[in-house]
Amino acid sequence: MAKTLFEKIWDSHVVEEGNGRSLLYVDRHLVHEVTSPQAFDGLRMNKRNVRRTDLTFATMDHNVPTSNRSLPILDQTSAMQMKTLERNCKEFGIELFDINSPNQGIVHVIGPELGITLPGTTIVCGDSHTSTHGAFGALAFGIGTSDVEHVLATQCIWMEKPKTFEIRVEGKRKNPCAITAKDIILSIIRQIGTAGGTGTIFEYRGEAISELSMEQRMTICNMSIEGGARAGLVAPDEKTFNYLKGRRYIPKNYDKLVEYWRENLKTDSNARFDKSFTLHADTIAPQVSWGTNPAMTVDVTGTVPFPEEYAKGNPEEEKAATKALQYMGLKPGTLITDIELDRVFIGSCTNSRLEDLIEAAKIVKGNKISPKVRAMIVPGSQHVKKQAEELGLDRIFKDAGYEWRESGCSMCLGMNPDILSAGERCASTSNRNFEGRQGSGGMTHLVSPVMAAAASIQGHFVDVRELDLN
Amino acid sequence: MEPFIKIKSIAIPLDKVNVDTDQIIPKQFLKLVQKTGFGQYLFYDWRYEKDGTVKKDFVLNEPRYQDSKILLTRNNFGCGSSREHAAWALLDFGFRAILSTSFADIFYNNCFKNGILPIKVSEQVLQKLFESRSEIEIDLEKQTITNDDITISFDIEPHWKKILLEGLDDIAVTLRHNNEISKYENAQRNSSLRVS
């Protein structure tokens, strides 16, 4: 029978079925400091072990300060959570990339970077952006802490089989330097809504997806959860195999695996998806979010919408949009390019990889940031930071007035000292513009790294297509 | 886990769509390393003023709802972050059931794992419940929701029904399948395409 890529991965991981559910084997389990302490406590209470320490990897990312790492951590509760992870990893025998490790970084940046992420595997982590790893053709999704404990103890997870949702992005982007993977995914979410993918797994297909680099595919898959899907997939190809080749944790039988993946890890031509949505890449403009969820997004050439215009007849959505405008301090009809900014954040598991920094640096180079703006770069991992420094990107950003930080989740969710103050407005390359996400009372506009970089110079949003990017 | 058999209470109407887990429990409270004590921080930014005083106009703060065990809310509840702290906070506050037209996938799962029953109902039923002020009884065995005006039945996966009714430890249940898990692992170990 013809199968989709998702169905192939699913079927090859079913340990057992019953009662409408499947027990799936987990090939890689990634652990971080915030969603794991209670899981390890549960193991201790029930005198259970970690079943496969060799498939479990831990790092510290959510809480870690991004300032000088040789200084003590001032936030005692954060320090406690990091210490707890250290103690748990030691006690249960799990490899940990701690705050001083050269491999430390955002869990969804280091997984691929270290070759822990592999095509055709199942990957879980107590973090909703685990969907990122789907860029490699892995079935990867976020789980809660109870499931973290369950996977630690059993290396398996129970799931009802999700439906399949094909997202086709056809054609070519008109200006690939200005219209990025971030703009593609925001355009998708804007059209299908934040619950559009609930109960499904996305598979991104089409010419505009194939032509993306691995890092760009990660940006797309990362935000699948913002469209309601627990996971998103891109079929692996030569770019995928080349990206992973030679990385530290790839298995010894890698070449043999590649042969198999090349033949098998794709949706059969006559396979059927439960749902389908098509977007034409040549219609996509740079995107800017105006509201308090990622579907509340418009083209940079647009205006802040009126609630009734956004809601299209749905009274609940209209109420939500009114509330969002109130929170964001925006008036309908305002030009997006008239929105002035206080902060710029380039970072997060969505957009903190080397390519993101290279593209942003092209815009920043030789310029100074607006005197009204405080801007910050937080590389996704220590490896990204080091590579960027080798290319001299740190100098470009610092010369322009940017802060150049250590790696971590940072201001994407503001669990460390990097937060917005109430009333501050930020252009952010992260994934969520929820109320208070980057700091209580802070206002977030989601954009691509190039859009964030351009805004940092001008002090307000600008259409990057109008800049000379070559 | 405390079994869920039958509950009866007035429901708190939270008339919002797309409530994300960042609103249910903001990030500054995710640093605790236990599962308890999160109830006081539930919906923190909606419940309290900046100076920590209680916002009188937020529905959770109304005196008549203080002993409620049921939350009524709109579409796509629990979207965003996977933080199970959201379920812990709702449970700690006293909620045992949540009624909505839809839930985000990870949150939905997290509820069951903590003995909270999330129930999907139709738009019309939800609207009726929002308009009614009477107590609601939820009977898990019979799979019914009853108030003064209506009785409707709801769906639940048989596995979750059993776990909730009996208050079972999920991991202990899975470990009964240890032989099958080992069999899967052995097959992997002997495969030239081994990844685990």
Domains A5-276 and A287-464 share a fold: yes
Give the mean pLDDT of A422-439: 97
Residue-level length of chain B: 196
Query: What is the pLDDT, as a whole number, of residue A70?
Result: 87
Residues of chain A contacting residue B115, judged by C-beta atoms under 8 Å apart: none
Query: What pLDDT score was predicted for residue A20?
Result: 85
% pLDDT > 70, chain A: 100
* Domain residue extents for chain A: 5-276, 287-464
Q: Is B179 at the interface with chain A, CB within 8 A?
A: no
Q: What is the pLDDT of residues A402-417, one digit of tens each?
A: 999 999 999 999 999 9
CB contact A440 to B (< 8 Å): yes
Chain B interface includes A61 (CB < 8 A) = no
Q: How many domains does chain B have?
A: 1
| Minimum Cα–Cα distance from B177: chain A residue | A16
Q: Does the interface predicted TM-score (ipTM) exceed 0.90? A: yes
Mean pLDDT value of segment A325-341: 98
Given this model, what pLDDT does residue B1 score? 85
Q: Is A81 on the interface with B (CB under 8 A)?
A: yes
Q: Which two tokens stand for residue B16?
A: 């919002």
pLDDT at A411: 96
Judged by CB atoms closer than 8 Å, whether chains meet at B33 and A38 is answered as yes
Measured distance CA(B46)–CA(B59) in Å, rounded: 9
* Closest by Cα among B156, B11, B5 to B94: B11
Place of tokens 């933080």: B83
Return the residue of B nearest to A35 by Cα. Answer: B83
Which residue out of B25, B174, B189 would a mutagenesis test of the A interface target, given it has the greatest number of A Cβ atoms within 10 Å?
A: B174
Name the CATH superfamily for A5-276: Aconitase, domain 3 (3.30.499.10)
- Indicate the SS3 state at residue A168: strand
B182 belongs to a structural domain: yes
Which residue from A285, A268, A185 is spatially nearest to A229, judged by alpha carbons? A185
CA distance B97 to B8: 10
Alpha-carbon distance B90 to B25, whole Å?
A: 9
Summary mean pLDDT of chain B: 96
B159 touches chain A (CB under 8 A): yes
Task: Kindly state whether residue B1 falls inside one of the protein's structural domains.
Answer: no
Tell me: pLDDT of A469 over 70.
no
**Residue A418 touches partner B, C-beta closer than 8 Å:** no
Cα-trace Rg, chain B: 19
Q: How far is CA A416 from CA A85, A156, A249, in A?
A: 16, 32, 29
Q: Does A203 touch chain B (CB under 8 A)?
A: no
- Any idea which of A70-79, A176-185, A400-409, B84-93 has the lowest mean pLDDT? A70-79
d(CA A7, CA A12): 8
Average pLDDT over residues B19-40: 95
Rounded to an integer, the average pLDDT of A310-335 is: 97
Helices (H) and strands (E) in chain B, counts: 8, 8
Residues of chain A neighbouring B45 (CB-CB closer than 8 A)? 435-436, 440
Q: Which of A16, A84, A147 sits opposite B177 (nearest CB)?
A: A16
Q: Which of A69-83, A86-100, A332-346, A424-438 has the lowest mean pLDDT?
A: A69-83
Q: Which domain holds residue B47?
A: 6-191
For residue B6, what pLDDT is reported?
Answer: 97
Is B22 near chain A, with CB under 8 Å? Answer: yes
Residue A470 has pLDDT above 60, yes or no: no
Average pLDDT over residues A181-196: 98
Asked whether A232 and A185 are in contact (CB, 8 A), the reply is no
Give me the mean pLDDT over the A170-182 stretch: 97
**pLDDT tens per residue, range B30-69:** 998 899 999 999 999 999 999 999 999 999 999 999 899 9
Task: Tell me the average pLDDT of chain A.
Answer: 97
DSSP-derived secondary structure for B22-84: HHHS-GGGTT-SSSSS-GGGTTHHHHB-TTS-B-TTSGGG-GGGTT--EEEE-SSBTBS---T
A126 touches chain B (CB under 8 A): yes
Across the interface, whether the CB atoms of A440 and B192 are under 8 A apart is answered: no
Indicate whether B134 belongs to any domain: yes
Which residue in chain A has the smallest CA separation from B170?
Answer: A150
The helix, strand and coil proportions of chain B, stated in percent and rounded to the nearest 5, come to 40, 20, 45
Find the mean pLDDT for residues A284-312. Answer: 97
pLDDT surpasses 60 at A84 = yes
What CATH number should be reported for the domain holding residue B131? 3.20.19.10
- Segment B16-38 shows an average pLDDT of 95
For range A234-260, the mean pLDDT? 98
Q: How many helices (H) and strands (E) does chain A have?
A: 16, 19
Provide the shortest C-alpha distance from residue B180 to chain A (in Å): 6
Residue B75's closest CA among B25, B121, B23, B8? B121
Per-residue pLDDT at B58: 96
Q: How near does any CA of chain B get to the CA of A391, in Å?
A: 34
Do A222 and A230 meet the contact criterion of CB atoms below 8 Å apart?
no
For residue B54, with 0-12 CB atoms within 10 Å meaning exposed, 13-18 middle and 19 or more buried, which class applies?
exposed
pLDDT at B133: 82
Is domain A287-464 given the CATH code 3.30.499.10 in the classification? yes
Question: What is the average per-residue pLDDT within A61-85?
Answer: 93
Q: Nearest-CA neighbor of B98 among B131, B75, B82?
A: B75
